Amino acid sequence: MTDNKPVGFFSRLAPATKHSWAGFKAAYKHEMAFRQEVLLFLISTPLAMWLANGFVEFVLLMSGIVIIFIAELLNSAIEAVVDRIGLERHELSGRAKDLGSAAVFVALCYFILVWAYKIYTLV
């Protein structure tokens, strides 16, 4: 039986943060692509600070890597659920994994577009 007391923002914040951190650790431990994207983040952040003409441009440059992180985490979650359900080949399982991969691809294209435009404007 569940307790119907409303849960406040601050009482939920600590457990939510703990679960989110566990998700980041799991992605880093189990997903090579996520580790590569962390490396991209570590390289692109100081580069964005140097290249950006102001805060808004910095945020725009960094939005690319943030979107990649979001897409990769969701893709990894989809893959984990599909693999949990079963490892046998199924059309819908393959489609789910392909759609997650496509989301990461779109995020990478956005990152390249934003950074390529910034570099193009410098030349």
Q: Which residues are catalytic?
A: 72
Phi, psi at residue 23, to the nearest 5°? Answer: -65, -45
Amino acid at site 58 = F
Task: Judge contact between 80 and 96, C-beta under 8 A.
Answer: no
CA-wise closest residue to 64 among 119, 8, 110, 120:
110
Rounded CA-CA distance 41/109 in Å is 15
Rounded CA-CA distance 52/69 in Å is 21
SS3 category, 60: helix
